[in-house]
Amino acid sequence: MGDSTGGSEPPSTSTGISIGVSPACSASKCLSPLLSPSSMRVAQNISRVQYFDVPTLEELKTLSEELQMIKNQFLDDPEMTVEVAKLMVNVRRTVNRKVSYALTDQGPFMVVMEVMEDKVGNIHPMNMGKHFHQNKVHSIVRITKKGINKIGIEFNNADCANKFLNNSIYSTEHGYKKYIPQRLVTCRGLIWDLGDIINADNFYSEAEACVKKEGTLKKIKIINVRRLTKRIRMQALDGSVVFKSVPAKNYLVTFEGKTLPESIIIFKNERVVDKYISLVMMCINCCRFGHWKNQCKRKGRCSFCTLYLCVRKSQFLKREKCPDDHLNPDHICVRLESEVPPKPICIHCSGFHQAA
């Protein structure tokens, strides 16, 4: 069971599309020449699921109107209809995304700050802590490193975290990006066996989910809905075995707040909501955990030999493709022709197996 993007992309980007470069659309049918330049910029941003520089409601409204016009214009074109539908899902998700903490949210109240490429440089938690002290940024509990050019700033209350999000000193004009990790303000649950004709729109219009707070039931908002896929084994015309991803009857639903509802009612049917445990994130570029390839800012490493350059230092007679060439076709491993094929080395435990 998986999402529609495969294992190399984060689950949160499963509904993103590559604007204007879809192989299913011809050059004359892609969205680029059909959208205005301003709407095209907004479409590219939300398709990459950016958590900073959130589009204004006016920009989103304009984009939605243009997409509706394109949808009406290409009613008989299933490929274009799919492209427009995917982008409209991203618009809805952007509208529903929480960009500030509510007073009823539970802590920790963390804001992630990172710097724009080639503008500010690497930021160190200690250096930034002194910087915040000099600029009188109050109510900080702790500062932690979250990766290259990225730190997490935890505040002791929601109001101070929201004020920091609007701080003009650390704005995009000065090379900083600030956002709230969605995992701190939302929760995700799996819903099984919903039939073949239910779609995401039915969740937003018909589904009801409640949680018990202070002895009363409170309805909670559905932030995002994604249909999962499954791989099935098929036999090709030439007799070979191939695997194909097909839509499943199960959905991953993101709810507002940190309390997961026990069940959800849709079209008078009640379904249990199970807690969703995400897969371990591992980058196939640097072989480290905690991020995906499209978020990686480190040098690439071979998951077979753990080397950055993937080159044997001894004299060699033969070049052959790296055993990991299915992930990185440009990598070349160099070894003696008479040498025994090398064993894989895990970068994490030094065991004789691949890291990925």
Query: pLDDT tens across 209-227, in order?
Result: 998 877 788 888 898 898 9
Residue 125 has pLDDT above 50, yes or no: yes
Measure the CA–CA gap between 287 and 306, rounded to whole angstroms.
Answer: 8
Measure the CA–CA gap between 44 and 36, rounded to whole angstroms.
Answer: 12
Q: Does one domain contain both 179 and 245?
A: no
pLDDT in tens, 169-215: 998 888 888 888 888 888 999 999 998 888 888 898 899 999 887 77
Going by pLDDT thresholds of 50, 70 and 90, the confidence category of residue 2 is very low
Which pLDDT does position 135 carry in this prediction? 93
Measure the CA–CA gap between 284 and 265, rounded to whole angstroms.
Answer: 39
Instruction: Let me know if residue 103 belongs to a domain.
Output: no
Measure the CA–CA gap between 308 and 302, rounded to whole angstroms.
Answer: 6
Please give the angle made by the CA atoms of 254, 140 and 173, to the nearest 5 degrees.
Answer: 75
Which pLDDT does position 141 carry in this prediction? 95
Q: Does one domain contain both 192 and 270?
A: yes
Going by pLDDT thresholds of 50, 70 and 90, the confidence category of residue 74 is confident
Q: Does one domain contain both 303 and 230?
A: no
Instruction: Let me know if residue 192 belongs to a domain.
Output: yes
Q: Does one domain contain both 166 and 224?
A: no
217 contact partners, CB below 8 Å, separation of at least 6: 210, 211
List C-alpha distances in Å: 168 to 120, 123, 139, 142, 175: 16, 18, 17, 21, 11
What is the model's pTM?
0.65
Q: How many domains does the chain have?
A: 4
pLDDT in tens, 246-283: 989 999 999 988 889 999 999 999 999 999 988 888 88
Instruction: Let me know if residue 4 belongs to a domain.
Output: no
| Terminal CA-CA length for the chain | 19
**Domain end: 275, 300, 323, which one?**
275
Cβ 116 vs Cβ 201: under 8 Å: no
- Rounded to the nearest integer, the mean pLDDT of the chain is 77
Going by pLDDT thresholds of 50, 70 and 90, the confidence category of residue 143 is very high
Q: Does one domain contain both 257 and 293?
A: no
Going by pLDDT thresholds of 50, 70 and 90, the confidence category of residue 28 is very low
Instruction: Let me know if residue 101 belongs to a domain.
Output: no
Instruction: Let me know if residue 1 belongs to a domain.
Output: no
Going by pLDDT thresholds of 50, 70 and 90, the confidence category of residue 117 is low
**Domain end: 250, 275, 300, which one?**
275
Which pLDDT does position 328 carry in this prediction? 52
The boundaries of the domain holding residue 198 are 186-275
Q: Does one domain contain both 339 and 301?
A: yes
Q: Which residue reads 């975290």 in tokens? A: 161
Q: Is 285 exposed, middle or buried, given 0-12, 13-18 or 19+ CB atoms closer than 10 A?
A: buried
Q: Does one domain contain both 346 and 286?
A: yes
Instruction: Let me know if residue 102 belongs to a domain.
Output: no
**Domain end: 245, 275, 305, which one?**
275
Q: Does one domain contain both 200 and 270?
A: yes
Going by pLDDT thresholds of 50, 70 and 90, the confidence category of residue 9 is very low
Going by pLDDT thresholds of 50, 70 and 90, the confidence category of residue 96 is confident
